[in-house]
Amino acid sequence: MAEEKILALQGSPTLPEKKIRERSIFVSYADNEKNDDLIERLIRQFLTELDFDVCTFRNARSDVYLQAEIDRLIDECPCFLAFLTKDIKEEGSERWHPKGNIPSEIARALSRDHNVILYYEEGVSIPSNTNSYYCHPFENDPKKYAELFIDLIKALRNQDLLPK
């Protein structure tokens, strides 16, 4: 009898039911000053004005389990938006790669059948797990951000996330 109680207590914990935030977008990007200004100040405000709930790694509630928290946020957001920027230069080449977390976060969103929109800087390698339908070039230049916002509206409309 006592063994049965111990075994029952040692059982695997039940996870809370996955909740989907209908009008939410997870935005994935490399953590640096230029991207912080673009994403946390401009993109967040722009999408909020379009009535979206915006989540980034900054919404994670735990530093200890940061990746688990990011995974939870990606799972809860039916739309995923990533910015692939020139973070790591490929040695002996003109190619650049995004920070390592970006491709893994893209893979997670694609595996969850989310609406996925990717923006990449010219010269950045696009992960092989994506296709050109999802990808849009952008210039990470404040003088070109208006074009980025117009293109983002078009991408959201193409995904049926905004009225046409």
Q: Provide the domain count of the chain.
A: 1
Q: Is 37 inside any structural domain? A: yes
Q: Is 120 inside any structural domain? A: yes
pLDDT digits (tens, 9 = 90+) for 67-83: 888 999 999 999 999 99
Mean pLDDT of the region 87-97:
89
Six token digits for residue 26: 């997870």
pLDDT digits (tens, 9 = 90+) for 100-112: 889 899 999 988 8
Q: Is 14 inside any structural domain? A: no
Q: Is 137 inside any structural domain? A: yes
Confidence of residue 132 (pLDDT cuts 50, 70, 90): low
Q: Is 31 inside any structural domain? A: yes
Written as one string, the DSSP assignment of 101-162 is HHHHHHHHHHHTT-EEEEEEETTBPPPTTS-GGGEEEE---GGGHHHHHHHHHHHHHHTTSS
- Measured in residues, the chain has a length of 164
Domain that holds residue 98: 21-158
pLDDT digits (tens, 9 = 90+) for 139-155: 999 999 999 999 999 99
Q: Is 128 inside any structural domain? A: yes
Output the average pLDDT for the chain: 84
> Taking the mean position of all CA atoms in its chain, how far away is CA 74?
7
Residues 6+ apart with CB under 8 A from 126: 84, 118, 120, 135
Quick one: what percent of the chain has pLDDT higher than 70?
Answer: 84
Q: Is 11 inside any structural domain? A: no
Beta-strand relationship, 88-89 and 96-97 = antiparallel
Which CATH number characterizes residue 61's domain?
Answer: 3.40.50.450
Q: Is 7 inside any structural domain? A: no
